[in-house]
Structure 1
Amino acid sequence: MRIAWGLAVCAVLLGITACEPAASPPAPPATAPSGRVTVPANMYGENPPKPGQCLDTGNAIVVDCADPHDAEVVNTGKLTATSMPDEATAATLTIPPCREKLAEYLGGPDMDATNLVAMPLWPNQEQWAKGERWLLCTVAEVGADERPAKRTGSLEGALQGNELFRYQTCSVSSPSREAKLRRGPCDGPHLGEAVPGVINVGKPGGSIPGNDTMNRTASTRCPALVKKYLGGDSKEVSVAWRLPNAESWARGYTNVVCFAEAARPVKVRLRNLGQGALPS
């Protein structure tokens, strides 16, 4: 499957609106491990992992969540397609329902402001030919390369309270000026920080609003969310947001994500900066 983060860009410089769509739709991130991994016969088909269990997808085994793993099951199901779909079609079919279950599992709607993503797994061609139709909805924490990282511990309820900040998206790229969002560690040099309060602008399966409509919504709501995150107005922090494009919309990414963007790279979070200057 492919993790969709195709986006247009826009920014507000503390009251001065400056909006400009990306010159062309940015390329989706690298593909993550999918149902193409080779698994023992019927391991997933007849005895699928259960929600809450963790997986080492490289070795196609269930492991204790306290051990290193790159996926955690949030829901199971079956594919109903009469013929094996190609990867793009399968992603469009599976990501939206998996995202819905993921929001429930994480305990909050703000996953798009974090590095936690829905990662559906489905049979490869050989398994499909044997009649396997299993679907595993899993959650992964992606790194700067957009691939699932090895981690320990369960993610159930991970977005409750202030736990979101453990998984918060920080970007080394400019959220307002660059088409591709490049993730980076929040305690390393970065420019952007996704703030809590993703803005839903539609439902999966519905028509995508025009950029003008989404930009108006973002320009109305993002400044307040960023101000709350900062604890005030800083002249060195601007308000930015990322919009879904048609490809990401089809895969269930129907949210606008607001960002606090620093005037220069910082190595600490901007949260609670208030009206102060950027840290040196």
Structure 2
Amino acid sequence: MLRTWSCNNALAGYLGSPSSGFARILAQPVPASTDPNAAHQIVCAAAVTKPDDSGYEEISYRLKNRIKDKGYTNYRICTSDRPSKTDSPHIVPCTQAHKAETIGGYVIGKADGKYPGSKTVDKRALAKCVPLAKTYLGGARGDVIASANSTGKSGWQRGTTMTACFVEATKGTFTKPLKGMKNKPLSAYK
């Protein structure tokens, strides 16, 4: 649990952005059985998932400061359903029509495995995600809203105390990133 939490917590600093959690770039602890110094250190590996979440991409570039230098939108995760309406939204490539896209994410809990309950988690998550969505979109909207999707009790018990922040269309779909859309109609992002 501590190893997973530590890697998730370190990822944002490694990628160069405090809100870079829940991108296609993931952090994983190197298994203690393969690390001869596991009793004294935690080693984390970072990898990029494929856009459809079917495995990992083979990359030939460094991930350090990748979000800071290249931006989040290239690594966002898109879903065919609304994260505010399901605990497990279906991930699709962002080139396909989708209803939501991640805009970042945060570690919102401690590594103690104590799940504070869904209402507390939702409150913490939205406190982070609503301002991030407003900045991402360039203002508040009614047809595209902020939402969050957090790991449940079992995730917290494994050390994954993160929340994904999304912007989601209340009606319709889109294929282009909504970053900076301001007052443009959603139809401009098809």
Q: Distance in 2 between matches of 1:122 and 1:140?
A: 15
> Is 1:177 aligned to residue 85 of structure 2?
yes
Provide the residue aligned with 2:67 in structure 1: 159
1:102 aligns with 11
Shift, 1:193, TM fit: 1.3
Poorly superposed stretches of 4+, deviation over 4 Å: none
- Report the Cα offset of residue 112 of structure 1: 2.2
CA distance in structure 1 between the aligned counterparts of 2:162 and 2:106, rounded to whole angstroms = 5
More helix as a share of residues: 2
* Larger Cα-atom Rg: 1
Distance 2:135 2:17 in 1: 18
Counterpart position of 1:168: 76
Q: Deviations over 1:106-162 (max 9, x none)?
A: 223333231111133437xxxx6xxx6546521111122352222221111112155
Number of positions where the alignment pairs a residue of Structure 1 with one of Structure 2: 181
Residue type of the alignment partner of 1:216: K
Residue of structure 2 equivalent to 1:270? 178
Distance 1:102 1:215 in 2: 22
1:251–1:116 Cα change, 3 Å: farther
Contact 2:24 2:77 in 1 (8 A): yes
Per the alignment, in what secondary structure is the counterpart of residue 63 of structure 2?
coil
TM-score (norm 2): 0.79
Runs of at least 5 residues in structure 2 that lack an aligned partner in the other structure = none
- Paired residue secondary structure (2:26): strand
Write the distance in 1 (CA, Å) between the matches of 2:81 and 2:91: 8
Q: For the residues of structure 1 that align with 2:11 and 2:145, how far apart are their CA atoms? A: 31
SS in structure 2 of the partner of residue 110 of structure 1? coil
**Alignment match, 2:162:** 255
Question: Could you give the per-residue CA deviations for residues 170-197 of structure 1, whole angstroms, max 9, x where no partner exists?
Answer: 222321122213323333311111124x
Could you tell me which amino acid in structure 1 is paired with residue 71 of structure 2? E
What is the distance in 2 between the residues matched to 1:240 and 1:142?
A: 22
Listed as ranges, the matches of 1:103-252 within 5 Å are: 103-122=12-31, 133-134=35-36, 137-143=44-50, 144-160=52-68, 163-196=71-104, 198-205=105-112, 207-252=114-159
Higher strand fraction: Structure 1 or Structure 2? 1
Unaligned runs of 5+ in 1: 1-91
Percent sequence identity is: 26
In structure 1, C-alpha distance between the alignment counterparts of 2:22 and 2:147, rounded to whole Å: 13
